A and B are shown apart, each in its own frame.
Chain A
């Protein structure tokens, strides 16, 4: 404990119990309180601290340096700038998650520019900006690059709106940049020239990720950059344009890499060149995370063997592998904690996962062909069972399949009761248990009953209200729930809203839930971050009623089908806010 604080506490006379200040026993001088609070990082803890009393609120706001905004429309730049004077790092999330699946029209919003204008004025010492699902235009990147001399880290996750011009500003002007991390971003016209814009003496880069940008980059510049930053670079994720022999040259310059995203493996190399690549991998003693691996097949695996034993995260979501190929590689990877694969590995491949990776904690299985109607391909309930048997530490699952049974899920959660994230996507909407043809209610009931730590759940398959009764009753720690093509009546949604005490995000599509269900959550929505309902039975009338009842919620209808009360509200997005209705809403977003 800080000695200053202790001293102050002891020297203060023990004041009598007055009905006045609540803090009479806790009257630290401001500086001491601020010093103590500066050790608290978690924004949740800080939010709690700020509620104690006015002095603590003030001490907290002066000492907060990391800003986290879970929904960019829940608060405004003005309000933030008034409350927090000293912010060094910012994390903002924008669009609702369903925008990833084409469910939001273009130009819906979540543009970062207004925030940057405020930051430039109020936080000139800003060092880090991390954005998720926001629109970032080139002019915003220019503003960013030119406004903050000490800027260090830029992370763009699932963002859109920028081109290489914007990135050029960042590379040119951010002299102290340590991190440039672009993941899953929709950046169609991003050329590769920005890489040449890093100054000649620039050498502080620790993280560079441009794997999701699809243009060729100037390899010579990249090589020089990696060489200059060889002492600091720990994360390097290149894009598909980088070939194997180029990768080898990069690895030689960066043997301290902890995370590597490779380029494409499709290249004809001589045996000597393969050997060189292999030794380069072996020499990366700190390598723990491997991704990219485009076009990798077992013809190439030998180059990876030198690094496999140390790997903890292997992301094969870009490599079309068969079960035998995966098994062959996994035999060398006993320390895997996280594995992402495409379902071409089939159940047999997952059996290999179960037998080779006992320490596995996270598994994601993506479909090669999400729209294929042929029911025979991919993974099934057998694969899930096999992994659960071999990997008792499994707690994160994302599983796309075309076949599932209640029995398999029940057994799987019995084997792995520590699930925190259970995201099962049976790809045909409303598909029943493959063997018994009954609804999948028993499966998800087992999940919520057996896994008390469950925080995130995605349900699928044929589901009646029973599933949601179980969720409401047992899922005490559930924070995020995704529902599609499920449920029989309003009761389902009501059970969830009445039941799950920690629910923060609820996203629903194509379910028979109407106004009664929507309004049953009237007292809950302010304790949640957001609600999404699309293609349900909610009408404009219900939305209007909700908006009237709860002025501190924004009830937005996107693409309504008419504005009279009886019209269906096609897409509804409800979220708590202290900023009032959006000022930048496009014409197709109606705030009620």
Chain B
């Protein structure tokens, strides 16, 4: 199952079919019309826009900001990829959303110009393809896409990457850096001088270290990729 989720941002059409849910501090979760407040403590409104997600494209893009899941680390493969998130607002740490609670999404929050970012990156795959093509020496096998699974140690959800888009170990490494930047970018503190190693399983089923054979040979024999963190001891 391919997990790339390009988030379709809430449909811009005028009919937002949601109803507004109001939650007071008592967490009367099923109340949809009450407007009572507690003693100067604020409350929030969530607009339910479940219905309008129709973009689920493959976006092999460094901009994983649009990738959402419900925070459950071990998704079963056959669950439909979730594209809403459960709001885990904690007011006093003892107020939590029910799991049964309808998933809600806040339109237009945080106030980021995601629309433009998403549109820019939507075509990034095609553009990268074109860029690779004009670099001298790049392989011209655009029509033969070569998807392999990529798993990074410590990351629960794997990715798939189309190797035909890349022409060298360096460009592939760059792609991995960006694909997993969400995880690696923040792990610098934990790295303790360790390095990420790229391993791959070849067509004989053996696990090998990437980089030894010429790029073309690598691409022909690779079946899946795993990225591990190896600490220098």
Contact = CB atoms under 8 A, between A and B. Distances in A.
B89 A105 contact: no
B64 A488 contact: no
Interface in A426-459: 427-432, 437, 458
Interface in A369-394: 369-374, 376-377
B123 interface: yes
A103 interface: yes
B201 interface: no
Tell me what chain B mostly uses at the interface: helix, strand, loop, or mixed: loop
Contacts of B62: 295, 320
Contact of A488 (B41, B130, B134): B41
A268 B171 contact: yes
Interface in A94-138: 98, 100-103, 105-106
B206 to A, nearest CB: 28
Range of interface residues on B (Cβ < 8 Å) = 35 or more
A461 to B, nearest CB: 10
Contact of B188 (A212, A323, A535): A323
Interface in B102-139: 106-116, 119-120, 122-124, 127, 130-131, 134-135
B37 A100 contact: no
A216 B126 CA distance: 10
A463 interface: yes
A147 interface: no
A103 to B, nearest CB: 4
Given A488-B37, A537-B35, A241 B174 contact: no
B148 interface: no
A322 interface: yes
Contacts of B89: 428-431
Contacts of B16: 559
B9 A489 contact: no
Contacts of A212: 116, 120
A243 interface: yes
Interface in A185-234: 185-186, 188, 212, 214-216
Contacts of B37: 488-489, 512
Contact of B47 (A458, A535, A537): A535
B14 A510 contact: no
Given A323-B188, A568-B20, A241 B12 contact: no
Interface stretch (B65-73, B149-157, B224-232): B65-73
A101 B181 contact: no
Contact of A297 (B85, B93, B135, B177): B177
A489 B42 CA distance: 8
A485 B109 CA distance: 10
B120 A344 contact: no
B71 A184 contact: no
A462 B90 CA distance: 11
A295 B174 contact: yes
Interface residues of A, number: 72
B170 interface: yes
Contacts of A510: 44-45, 106
B182 interface: yes
Most B Cβ at <10 Å: residue of A215, A429, A487 = A429
A429 B106 contact: yes
A240 interface: yes
Contacts of B127: 214-216, 240-241
Question: Interface on chain A toward B: helix, strand, loop, or mixed SS?
Answer: loop
Contacts of A5: none
Contacts of A344: 181, 185-186
B112 to A, nearest CB: 5
Given A266-B171, A430-B44, A510-B45, A425 B110 contact: yes
Nearest to A586: B14
Contacts of B114: 101-102, 370
A102 B170 CA distance: 37
A188 B188 contact: no
B92 interface: yes
Given A241-B131, A243-B131, A323-B188, A186 B119 contact: yes
A382 B149 CA distance: 38
Given A212-B120, A295-B178, A367-B65, 8 more contacts: A101-B114, A186-B115, A214-B119, A214-B123, A266-B174, A346-B188, A489-B37, A512-B43
23 contacts: A101-B107, A102-B108, A158-B116, A188-B119, A212-B116, A212-B120, A214-B123, A215-B127, A241-B130, A266-B131, A295-B178, A322-B185, A322-B188, A368-B182, A369-B65, A370-B65, A370-B114, A400-B112, A488-B37, A510-B106, A512-B35, A512-B42, A535-B45
> What 6 pairs across the A-B complex have the smallest Cβ distances?
A101-B108, A344-B185, A105-B14, A369-B65, A488-B40, A103-B108
Interface of A: 98, 100-103, 105-106, 158, 184-186, 188, 212, 214-216, 240-241, 243, 264, 266-268, 295, 297, 320, 322-324, 344, 346, 348, 366-374, 376-377, 400, 425, 427-432, 437, 458, 462-465, 482, 484-489, 509-510, 512, 535, 537, 559, 568, 588
